[in-house]
Structure 1
């Protein structure tokens, strides 16, 4: 019994290590009164022994001593859509609620897709299945979303891009099939956001997206608190994405069915990456 108590104590301490640390500045204007807990659900799911093994699109990496999870969407293998909720039912509010509505075998991974207001709806540009539900937000204001330049992640078919909001406004004429606005930009034309320090005091669990020269979309979520400078450098220096966009912090969540990871917490819009060979 003494040995069992020691094991349980160690497990409890390990679980505590997954909680966000520091005093991040994110989402101060977006309903911070609602507490969130995004520790991944690491418990394995029972499956038949002869079930096919699905290779995850995500992998764990370490950058500047910070653990990250890096997920890749390949246009040759995946489709990307945005999802907020089911028609007539309001927003899903969590990845777990969304997971209950789909066949997980069709899902490569899903992640929160940007900032939202008290109604859990996007505060910036948002397009789902070609329908624009929120116009581009170019207003000034407080918080990370308004740390200009902010930007838009968008695409149609297998063509995906990240652009600053101003460039998106001036150059994109056709409505994409999906789109989500957030901020700030992490990388702009190969340079870090001008307001970032190398390793500033704002620390949070964060996620973002960038598109590399080969057209692949790279989604990254930190598994510990990280500064904006560190997070942006990973996209610029390791992933070589000329433009990258911060999606959110503290509420950052990932669902990876292949590894049974399902982070729990309140989110608004989400990005869903599906497998082409299953969806078609």
Structure 2
């Protein structure tokens, strides 16, 4: 594992400067022939939010638009596309922003990756965040999340890989997603550096990161904003974006 997110002090024996409590740390990790960028967030100390529409009702679409909307004294310290969307950037599944439901829960099977049940919801509450399978979410957390985004498929469900993932699959894409610990205190966002299968991607969350729950965000437009490692991906306009808001440097 190569630590990329820490700022180094002067090379003459001062070592690494401790990162502030709000500073999302990103690392690059190799696992079984694939490479991933891993960004870990602590919801107890970091301001995690979802972003979709600006104050004029238009989709942000890009990381820089989200960053500019935050105002003086704040910046987007981390960002990632966070769920599938229609051509008009409206979310395919459940979406909640600042406690307001924009799109209802979609519990039924359907076409594409989103409808490959079980799918799930990434739920952000005060001091914690959780990936929860959709039907469980409806029974236990619906209406309690300050922010929520539904996507699919689930990658890891209670420590088990999604039942439809095949070890010998040849279906490879760049992929991104999020995993959480059982106590909701560890939130890990991952984007692959190379094309990977669902089985490989889910296995990384479960076996390399030790996370019991993980959710797929997307594959065709996987994008990362991580200034700490000098990366901010451009490209097609996005729908929902998950981000960490931090004090401006």
Q: Distance in 1 between matches of 2:160 and 2:69?
A: 40
Residues 57 and 108, structure 1, Cα contact 8 Å, conserved in 2: no
CA contact (8 A) 1:125 1:179 kept: yes
Aligned to 2:14: none
Q: Is the 8 A contact 2:45 2:127 kept in 1?
A: no
Match of 1:60 among 28, 42, 45: 28
Which has the higher mean CA deviation after the structures are superposed, 90-99 or 256-265? 90-99
TM-score by length of 1: 0.76
Once the two structures are TM-superposed, the CA of residue 172 in structure 1 deviates from its matched residue by: 1.9
Structure 1, unmatched stretches of 5+, are 1-51
Q: Per-residue displacement from partner, 1:142-199 (whole Å, max 9, x unpaired)?
A: 1000000000000211111111111111222533100000000000110000000114
In 2, Cα distance between equivalents of 1:139 and 1:90 = 28
* Secondary structure at the counterpart of residue 85 of structure 1: coil
In the alignment, which of 88, 91, 95 is matched to residue 126 of structure 1?
A: 95
Partners of 1:173 and 1:113 lie apart in 2 by 18
Shift of 1:244: 0.5
Determine the structure 2 residue equivalent to 1:21: none
How many Å separate the matches in 2 of 1:192 and 1:119? 32
* Superposition pairs of residues 152-231 of structure 1, within 5 angstroms: 152-213=121-182, 215-231=185-201
Equivalent residue for 2:204?
234
Query: 1:89, CA displacement in angstroms?
Result: 4.2
Measured on the aligned residues, the alpha-carbon RMSD in Å equals 2.0
Instruction: Give the total of aligned pairs.
Output: 226
Contact 1:69–1:223 (Cα < 8 Å) also in 2: yes
TM-score normalised by structure 2 residue count: 0.85
Which of 238, 242, 245 is the equivalent residue of 1:271?
A: 242
Pairing of 1:22-171 with structure 2 (within 5 A): 57-102=25-70, 106-171=75-140
Max Rg structure? 1
* 8 Å contact kept, 2:83–2:239: yes
Q: Determine if the alignment matches structure 1 residue 260 to structure 2 residue 237.
A: no
Structure 2 unaligned segments of length 5 or more: list them.
1-16
After superposition, what is the alpha-carbon deviation per residue over 1:111-134, rounded to whole angstroms, capped at 9, x for unaligned?
A: 001000111110100001111100
